[in-house]
Amino acid sequence: MLARLYSFFSRRRKLLVLGYGCFVLLGILCFSSVVQEENIEALLPDTAGTTVRRDFALLQHAPFARKVLIDLHTLPAAEGGLSGTKAQQSAQLKQVAIDLSRALRPPLFTQALYAPPLQSEVALDQTLLQALPNLVTVDDLVTIEQRLGEQQIDKQLQWVRNQLLMPQGWWTKQSLRSDPLQLWQIAAGHLRQLNPMSKSDHQQSDFVSQDGTHRLVVVDTDISISDVAGSRRMMEQLQQHLVSIVPASIKASVVSGHLYTLANADSVQRDLRLVLGTATVAILLIFFLLLRSWRALFVFILPASVLGYAVAAVAVFFPTVSGITIGFGAVLLGVTVDFTLHVYFSLRASSEPLQQLRSLTTPLMGSALTSFLAFSILLMSALPGQRQLAIFSMTAIALALLLAVVVMPHLCGAVGVNSSSSRTAGVEQCLVTTQQPGRLWVLVWLVVMLACAGALPRLHFDGAMRSLSVATPELRHNEELLQQVWGNMRSSALLFATGATFEDALQVNDQISQRVHHICADTDLVSLAAILPSQASQRHSREIWHKFWDKHSGSLQTQLASAGAKYGFSPQAFAPFIQWLPREVPPTDLAVWQRVGLAPLLNGLIVPRSNAANEDKSSNGDGHSAALISLIDEAALTPALQQSIASIDGAVVVAQSEFSRQLSAELATDFGKFISVACAVVVLVLILWYRRWRHVVLALLPVVSGLLFMFGTMSWLGLSFNLFNVIAAILIIGLGVDYGIFILSLCDGSGCQQSRRAVLVSALTTMAGFGALVLAHHPAMNSIGVTVLLGISAAVTTALSVVPVCYRWLVTA
């Protein structure tokens, strides 16, 4: 069939060129019509029984994940810090925080807070007092009972009299009559449990550190963390405000996910300039030294022209195509370059192109089939991105092979420099290194492989997202400063309470809070349960409240009258308070706290209903539509506590360390399964293809060498596998099989004399194009470069130096 096609198009090359041109245009149309998305979730497992994808989605709702945090702190005097007394310095620092908060306005900034956003026109103490019967706990009643002693009441009424004698006494009179014991402070203690800044000064109304030298400004923005252009505009404007408002005596340290986005984008841009420049120079050098013809451009053009069709094939099975898949797919097109390279070298060096094409058919088909089936194993992957990559690669391999055997023979031209060479000469050339130098190569190869095999047990997978991200020294310093001064608020564990309704979620939230305080009583928990318990919990609080006052209200009234007379109060001075104690109060709802200005703090602990519904349905299928978040330090989340919370129906525990551990385990399992099954399939194909165990072993040597050297060297260097270089390892299998098949065909005389040269050029172009990524500073790009460089270098060295020697020993001896 190939002979007929070659003969047919030999007389109709214009038709062939026209047909290929239409093929290219249609591919471009396919590529442009496909919907692409940039989403890291394509590289997260989605199989039943795994919680990695769900946890990743929930982590995006961490209260401080999308905020900009600005720490303002005074510099030491030796570094030009603020002058004056400590009180004066504190006042200056506060004023800078206020000025900065007022300057950060829409559209780039939605809100900037230097203190909780309490509404001055709402009487917070009265709101807290009215809410106290709904919030009170047994511990609160113990505290109240301590305030009912004779000496405590006497001291408190003396304080009330002094307050009334002060200038503001005329407008605080009614408040003091309604709450002479200042019970509102008990509820205020609940309010402090909304503060995620565990190390801040809880006695201050602003965001102030314990030593008073730091203030925090919390900024909200509608700009997505993934929006590079928007993040850059926002940070540029923020920097302008910092320069104009913050004096040199005060240091401003900024922490935000947007800064990580910009750091990664800038790093990628710098790396691309370096890598592309290096790769371009290296490929051009290879081109001029080894190819030396403009026709060699088709070696790279033909495989690249299948990109659109490969993407379209993915779109047939998936609603959207991951941009990450396309990026890695373009990398893996390096496998398909082998086909056109072998055709180019073989036909240009022969005056009998049809005969050479026939010689190439067997190794071309064999290498394409093994690569095709190896990539098909990715269809079993738990990662949607890898399943997309399987369809992409399988389509690209099939089309690239077709172009290589149908189109490339008519584009490469012929010079016939080796037309008199025979297959026997090719075999002799292949075996020329089988003497003493060849034996030395095999000995060195064995030693290296054994050393690499011994290091395999130390290889591990790293599922941490941060390990794939760039963090500048300044960013790391600011993160450490934030954690040291304010607490671990940006990386706390998240405790989700989910339910079909908001009330159901509140009930689950109450259970979570009770478990935490029961198992780890001293642990700080940021939770709505402290100020917004469920209706059932509020009813219980009102019951114990009324039982308490049924027992103590009589004695309290007597003591207030007795102590009040001592300080000149009338018998009815505190009648509003006494009358209020047994009164039924309405339940406390979310609107109560929103009216006093706490909405920004509360919203950070409430997952929007639509998001909660989508995430829970996608992960559990239980239809939850409301979710609340509690924050706890990961160090306090002991296995016993985590197990106890997880046993609550509707509770979900999400910790970054646990997420990374689960993702690493999933990746290790998935990658181990892929490697073992892919190798088994390749071995089976080679057995059916060659039907001789010696040939199968020889064809597999480059694959085994590439994988062993890559795994072993990474283990020796302390490098770990991650989301990116796991996928890049696929390239090693595909190219390694090709190298083995083509060199073996050269050795047994069934292939083409130019196979050695084609394999060498293929490896050099791959290492130049993708191995150059080892120069990148970005962790993800660097990991791809390391993987490709190690694997390809070992595979091609084995194919060119070890396979011929072993062929002589195993086959021809």
Orientation of helix 656-690 relative to helix 693-716, angle to 10°? 160
Residue partners of 120: CB distance under 8 A and separation at least 6: none
Quick one: DSSP state of residue 296?
G
Rounded alpha-carbon distances, angstroms, from residue 48 to 53, 382, 390, 625, 646: 10, 9, 20, 21, 18
CA pair distance 802, 434, nearest whole angstrom: 9
Q: Name which of 347, 341, 337, 277 is nearest 305 in CA terms.
A: 337
CA pair distance 176, 572, nearest whole angstrom: 13
Q: Name which of 382, 381, 331, 276 is nearest 51 in CA terms.
A: 382
> Per-block average pLDDT, block size 10, for the chain (813 residues)?
75 86 92 71 64 72 81 79 76 92 92 78 81 94 92 91 78 84 90 78 79 90 84 94 92 91 83 79 80 80 88 87 67 74 79 75 84 83 81 90 88 56 43 54 89 85 68 88 83 87 93 90 85 95 95 91 89 91 92 85 77 45 65 83 90 82 74 78 86 88 92 87 71 84 82 77 82 80 84 91 85 65
Identical fold at 1-33+294-414 and 423-458+656-813? yes
pLDDT of residue 450: 92
Q: Which pair of tokens denotes residue 187?
A: 């509820």
Peptide bond into 702 cis (omega under 30): no
Rounded alpha-carbon distances, angstroms, from residue 558 to 42, 466, 530, 572: 71, 64, 32, 12
Residue 367, phi then psi, degrees to nearest 5:
-65, -40
Four-way CATH pick for 1-33+294-414: 1.10.3470.10, 1.10.287.70, 1.20.1640.10, 3.90.1150.10: 1.20.1640.10
CA pair distance 156, 146, nearest whole angstrom: 12
Three-state SS for 16? helix
Give, in degrees to the nearest 5, the angle at Cα 701 between 382 and 682.
Answer: 40
Residue spans of the domains in the chain: they are 1-33+294-414, 68-116+199-255, 119-194+533-587, 423-458+656-813
Helix (H) or strand (E) holding 628: strand 626-632
CA pair distance 705, 792, nearest whole angstrom: 9
Rounded alpha-carbon distances, angstroms, from residue 813 to 47, 425, 435, 589, 808: 51, 18, 13, 89, 6
Tell me the fold of 68-116+199-255.
Answer: Alpha-Beta Plaits (3.30.70)
Q: What is the pLDDT of residues 224-272, one digit of tens each?
A: 877 888 999 999 999 999 999 999 889 999 999 889 888 888 887 888 7
Helix, strand, coil content of the chain in percent (nearest 5): 70, 5, 25
Under a CB-based contact definition with an 8 Å cutoff, are residues 220 and 70 in contact? no
pTM: 0.73
Rg, C-alpha atoms of the chain: 36
Statement: 423-458+656-813 belongs to CATH 3.90.220.20: no
> Where are any strands of DSSP class E within 500-625?
525-526, 606-607
Q: Which pair of tokens denotes residue 795?
A: 């595979």
CA pair distance 731, 545, nearest whole angstrom: 70
Q: What is the dihedral of CA 99, 101, 104, 106, to 10 degrees?
A: -130
Say how many CA atoms lie within 13 Å of 473 toward its Cβ.
0
Three-state SS for 69? strand
Say how many CA atoms lie within 13 Å of 682 toward its Cβ.
33
Q: Going edge to edge, which strands form the sheet with 68-74?
A: 111-113, 214-220, 68-74, 250-255
